[in-house]
């Protein structure tokens, strides 16, 4: 799969649900429409819920990849202001 | 004339500790009331009650401290405002529901219209004992389906669409049952582990899971003196006709085999779960062919 041009990065592994979602949302708010962010998230509850919540907010999830240390990078394209 | 307390109770007037006072149970469906209905209820409570209402454990409203002499008047004024009295006693009670797919992003089925249909069809129907229906939109089970004599839970029967999948990796992580595995080239589903929760469908960014809404039924739940959770007896039902055939068959079974004053749970256990399941399947089949 093609790599994405990453415009920004965020790490939400230092917080727990539901703050994970809030932190990811704040990070997305800083972006322009169409920009791509890589968000580092923890295994377990965050990885089960954050991608889905961001999708429900209307953003486009591009990829989720395992880092091999029980964290994942979620690549998201911001949709809308 | 002697007061017919039973008739009053059947009509939702619950005798209070305080002499000649009743707590008036209102008809509720799926826990929804309109603002107009609430205004009517507030007025009645102020005029005829104590200016207070009670929210019941099954999404209903009761207006306490209604005086015996005011019963008819209160009923008429409520009805003029589109509010009806509930029921008590050995019959089908208030049908409860969560907000479901119409409002809740997790919902797999539209719960409120279904609760309305169930209520239209069964509310108030006399049975050997009380009988409760509850409808919950998904596996999160906010409405606690298994507490009910007949619980209905929304679920999805799922199918992976290979052409749409980008192997992004989200669904395998969203699944809490470990039913999804991902290889270099495809998604593998272990149907024996799938709970029909629909999280894969809801989480997939590329619409690469098709989810067909369906109903998972549980029978024989009771959380009063006897505490027991409803049990699934049938596989997930794909359409509403099948759901109503199953409900018809369950109520007929209760009517036929119950000793008077016995809860559905006790009847099923006496007859045996296997016999109950067979009766359901036979009746559903007969109704389908008939
Ligand atoms: S049971 Fe599911 S659909 Fe119903 S309110 Fe809870 S999460 Fe939403
Ligand atoms: S979430 Fe959708 S696109 Fe991503 S791997 Fe699963 S099926 Fe494929
Ligand atoms: S419906 Fe639920 S349990 Fe079944 S595969 Fe999808 S996420 Fe897993």
Tens digit of each residue's pLDDT, chain A (81 residues): 457 899 999 999 999 989 999 999 999 999 999 999 999 999 998 998 999 999 999 999 999 999 999 999 999 999 987
Collapsed DSSP state (helix, strand, coil) of residue B212: strand
CA distance B250 to B220: 10
Decide whether any atom of ligand 1 lies within 6 Å of the B157 Cβ: no
Cα B93 versus chain centre, distance = 10
Q: What is the pLDDT of residue B1?
A: 55
Token readout for A17 is 């649900």
Domain final residue, candidates B219, B238, B257 = B238
Segment B108-122 mean pLDDT? 98
Residue of A nearest to B177 (CA): A48
Please check whether residue B265 lies inside any domain of the structure.
no
Q: What is the pLDDT of residue B125?
A: 95
Asked if residue B3 has pLDDT above 80, the reply is: no
Task: For ligand 1, atom 6, name the residue with the nearest CA.
Answer: B142
Segment B7-22 mean pLDDT? 86
Please check whether residue B138 lies inside any domain of the structure.
yes
**pTM of structure:** 0.91
Does residue B228 sit in the same domain as residue B105?
yes
Q: Which of A44, A42, A39 is nearest to A26 (CA)?
A: A39
Residue of A nearest to B171 (CA): A48
CA distance B261 to B128: 5
Does residue B134 sit in the same domain as residue B210?
yes
Does residue B42 sit in the same domain as residue B103?
no
Does residue B133 sit in the same domain as residue B201?
yes
Does residue B103 sit in the same domain as residue B139?
yes
Distance B208 CA to ligand 3 centre (A): 13
CB contact under 8 A, A48 and B174: yes
Q: What is the pLDDT of residue A1?
A: 46
pLDDT, one tens digit per residue, over B27-40 is 999 999 999 999 99
CATH assignment of the domain containing B152: 3.30.413.10
- Is it true that the peptide bond before B112 is cis, omega within 30 degrees of 0? no
Collapsed DSSP state (helix, strand, coil) of residue B273: helix
Q: For chain B, how far is it from start to end, CA to CA, in angstroms?
A: 50
Please check whether residue B247 lies inside any domain of the structure.
no
What residues contact residue B54 under an 8 Å CB cut-off, 6+ apart?
A: B23, B61, B62, B63, B64
Query: How many domains, chain B?
Result: 2
CATH assignment of the domain containing B68: 3.30.70.3340
Domain final residue, candidates B80, B105, B126 = B80
From B106-110, B149-153, B281-285, the region with the lowest mean pLDDT: B281-285
Cα B7 versus chain centre, distance = 26
Does residue B140 sit in the same domain as residue B61?
no
Please check whether residue B270 lies inside any domain of the structure.
no
Q: Which of A18, A19, A17, A20 is nearest to A39 (CA)?
A: A20
Asked if residue B83 has pLDDT above 50, the reply is: yes
Contact status, residue B172 vs residue B182, Cβ threshold 8 Å: yes
Percent of chain B with pLDDT over 90: 88
Atom number, ligand 2, closest to the C-alpha of residue A64: 4
For B206-230, b/e burial (b = at least 16 CB within 10 A) is bebbebbbbbbbbbbbbeeeeebbb
Give the E-state strand segments of chain A in sequence order. Answer: 8-11, 36-42, 60-66, 71-77
Q: What is the pLDDT of residue A2?
A: 56
More confident residue, B1 or A27: A27
The per-residue pLDDT of chain B, averaged, comes to 94
ipTM of the complex: 0.79
What residues contact residue B139 under an 8 Å CB cut-off, 6+ apart?
A: B153, B155, B195, B196, B197, B198
Q: Check if A77 is active-site.
A: no
Please check whether residue B282 lies inside any domain of the structure.
no
Does residue B71 sit in the same domain as residue B107?
no
Does residue B102 sit in the same domain as residue B154?
yes
Please check whether residue B276 lies inside any domain of the structure.
no
Residue B205's pLDDT band (boundaries 50, 70, 90)?
Answer: confident
Token readout for B67 is 């005086």
More confident residue, B290 or A15: A15
CA distance A48 to A75: 15
* Ligand 3 site residues, Cβ closer than 6 angstroms: B 156, 158, 174-175, 177, 179-180, 189, 194-200
Token readout for A61 is 């999830």
Does residue B186 sit in the same domain as residue B53?
no
Contact status, residue B171 vs residue B203, Cβ threshold 8 Å: yes
Does residue B105 sit in the same domain as residue B63?
no
Residue that the structure tokens 């377990």 belong to = A44
For residue B34, which phi and psi values (nearest 5 degrees)? -85, 165
For B68, which DSSP code? G
Does residue B108 sit in the same domain as residue B65?
no
CA distance B164 to B175: 19
Q: Which of A15, A17, A36, A61 is catalytic?
A: A17
Q: Which of B73, B76, B145 is nearest to B109 (CA)?
A: B145
Q: Which of A77, A12, A7, A78 is nearest to A39 (CA)?
A: A12
Does residue B163 sit in the same domain as residue B50?
no
Contact status, residue A37 vs residue A27, Cβ threshold 8 Å: yes
Atom number, ligand 3, closest to the C-alpha of residue B197: 2
Structural domain boundaries, residue B61: 5-80
Please check whether residue B261 lies inside any domain of the structure.
no
Please check whether residue B272 lies inside any domain of the structure.
no
Distance B181 CA to ligand 3 centre (A): 11
Domain final residue, candidates B200, B218, B238 = B238
Residue of B nearest to A48 (CA): B174
pLDDT, one tens digit per residue, over B234-243 is 999 999 999 9
Distance B198 CA to ligand 3 centre (A): 5
CA distance B279 to B284: 8
């Amino acid at each position: 799969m093609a790599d994405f041009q990453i415009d920004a990065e965020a790490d939400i592994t230092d917080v727990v649900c539901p703050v994970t979602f809030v932190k990811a949302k704040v990070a997305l708010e800083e972006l322009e429409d169409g920009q791509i962010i890589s968000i580092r998230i923890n295994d377990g509850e965050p990885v089960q819920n954050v991608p889905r919540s961001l999708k429900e907010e209307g953003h486009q999830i591009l990829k989720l990849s395992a880092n091999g240390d029980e964290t994942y990078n979620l690549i998201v394209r911001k949709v809308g202001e | 004339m002697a007061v017919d307390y039973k008739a009053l109770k059947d009509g939702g007037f619950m005798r209070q500790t305080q002499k000649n006072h009743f707590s008036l149970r209102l008809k509720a469906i799926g826990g929804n009331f309109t603002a107009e209905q609430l205004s009517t209820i507030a007025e009645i409570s102020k005029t005829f009650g104590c200016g207070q209402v009670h929210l019941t454990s099954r999404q209903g409203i009761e207006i306490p401290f209604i005086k015996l002499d005011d019963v008819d008047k209160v009923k008429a004024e409520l009805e003029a405002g589109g509010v009806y009295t509930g029921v008590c006693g050995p019959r089908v009670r208030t049908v409860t529901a969560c907000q479901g797919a119409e409002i809740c992003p997790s919902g797999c089925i539209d719960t409120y219209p279904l609760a309305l249909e169930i209520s239209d069809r069964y509310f108030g129907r006399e049975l050997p004992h009380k009988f409760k229906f509850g409808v919950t939109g998904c596996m999160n089970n906010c409405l606690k389906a298994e507490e009910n004599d007949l619980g209905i839970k929304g679920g999805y029967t799922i199918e992976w669409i290979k052409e749409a999948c980008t192997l992004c990796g989200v669904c395998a992580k969203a699944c809490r049952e470990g039913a999804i595995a991902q290889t270099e080239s495809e998604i593998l589903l272990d149907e024996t582990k799938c709970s029909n929760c629909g999280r894969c469908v809801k989480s997939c960014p590329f619409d690469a899971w098709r989810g067909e809404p369906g109903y998972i039924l549980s029978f024989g739940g009771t959380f009063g003196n006897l505490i027991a959770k409803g049990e699934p007896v049938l596989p997930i039902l794909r359409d509403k006709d099948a759901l109503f055939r199953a409900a018809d068959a369950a109520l007929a079974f209760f009517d036929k085999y119950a000793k008077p004053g016995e809860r559905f749970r006790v009847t099923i256990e006496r007859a045996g779960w296997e016999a109950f399941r067979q009766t359901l399947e036979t009746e559903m089949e007969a109704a389908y062919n008939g």
